[in-house]
Structures are given as structure tokens and as C-alpha cells.
Amino acid sequence: MVKKEKEVDKGPVVSVDGAEMYVRDLNENQRYIYHQIEDLSRKQFTAQSELDQINGSLVYFKNLFINSTKEQADEVLQESDNEVDAKVS
């Protein structure tokens, strides 16, 4: 597994199955793959952050909807009670 471990004066160092090497010493194809992994990791973090925000907002709006329907139901029940009270009086 490729893991970025530390930055040193000679550039980033990666560890592959316990062997450390500088990214600058990788061949062109390996550097390309390394940069793809770095880019995808950033995108994954960004996507997860956005998903967390979406999920939080979704919960908020679901609760807002539920509360509004409860308020409407309470209003209908109150109107019904008022009509019954008017007929009884």
C-alpha cells in the first residue's frame, strides 16, 4: 500500500510495504499514479465533507417538514374542536 509519510528537504517520501522512497526517485508512471492517488484522496475528502453537509441539511429539512405538518394537524384539530364547541353551546 502506498502511504505518504513525511515531507523532507528532498521532497515527499512514500512508504510501500515498509520501504521508503522519495517521490522524485519514482519513474514517470509511478509518479503519475502517486499524483492520481493524492488527487483522488483530496477529492474523496471533499466529497465526504459535502456529503456530511448534505446529510445534516436533509435532516434539518425533514424535521422542518414534519413540524410543519404537525402544526397544520394541530390547527385542523383546533378548528374541529371550536366547531364542536359552537354546536354544543
Decide: residue 9, CB within 10 A, 0-12 exposed, 13-18 middle, 19+ buried.
exposed
Q: Where are the domains of the chain?
A: 2-88
Q: By the 8 A CB rule, do 14 and 4 touch?
A: yes
Lowest mean pLDDT among 6-10, 44-48, 74-78: 6-10
Q: How confident is the model at residue 8 (pLDDT cuts 50, 70, 90)?
A: very low
Q: By the 8 A CB rule, do 11 and 23 touch?
A: yes
Average pLDDT, rounded, for the chain: 87
The residue ranking higher by pLDDT, 67 or 71, is: 67
Cell numbers given for 7: 515531507
Measured from the Cβ of residue 14, the count of other Cβ atoms closer than 10 Å reads 20
* Average confidence (pLDDT) over 51-64: 96
- CA geometry: angle 24, 26, 30, nearest 5 deg: 125
Cell numbers given for 60: 434539518
Looking at residue 10, the DSSP 8-state letter turns out to be: T
